[in-house]
Amino acid sequence: MQPARSQDRRKPNSKQPRSPSARQASPARTRPIQDFETEILPNLEAARAEWLAKARLVALELVKERGQITSDDVREKCPIPAGVDPRCIGPLFRDPMWELVGYVRSKRKICHHHPIGLWQLKNDQRAKAA
């Protein structure tokens, strides 16, 4: 004789809560956005200072040639070292001499051609670079 079927239709060992009331609301963001600006970006900057310095020089050379550049352009000329998290490119254009002028689709298939920033030197910096 088979036992009566339970009203619980979950799979055995399911991690799904038994009922909607048992579900917990997702926790609120634990770190404010300001922490990203004041803690995370400076840590990225410090951890990859050597590569970022080289990448910034490449960015300046490229912007003198082209007028406007993206992080893809910099990556092409100055690849991120193997084993390094690619997000280390984040602080590349953090200097106040750069100005975001728009967005273009990334050329890289690996990032699904998502929009990335198009950067140029600010007006006062263009005169110094020339």
The conformation of residue 27, written as its DSSP 8-state character, comes to P
Q: Give pLDDT, residue 88.
A: 76
Average pLDDT of the chain, as a whole number = 77
User: What are the structural domain ranges in the chain?
Assistant: 34-129
Q: Give pLDDT, residue 106.
A: 92
Token pair for 117:
């920033």
The helix/strand/coil state of 121 is: strand
Q: Which helix (H) or strand (E) holds 49?
A: helix 49-66
Segments of the chain with pLDDT less than 70: 1-34, 36-47, 124-130
Overall pTM surpassing 0.85 (yes/no): no
Q: Using alpha carbons only, what angle is made at residue 40 by residues 111 and 110, rounded to the nearest 5 degrees?
A: 10
The CATH class that applies to domain 34-129 reads: mainly alpha
Are the C-beta atoms of 84 and 48 separated by less than 8 Å?
Answer: yes
Tokens 């990448």 locate to 55
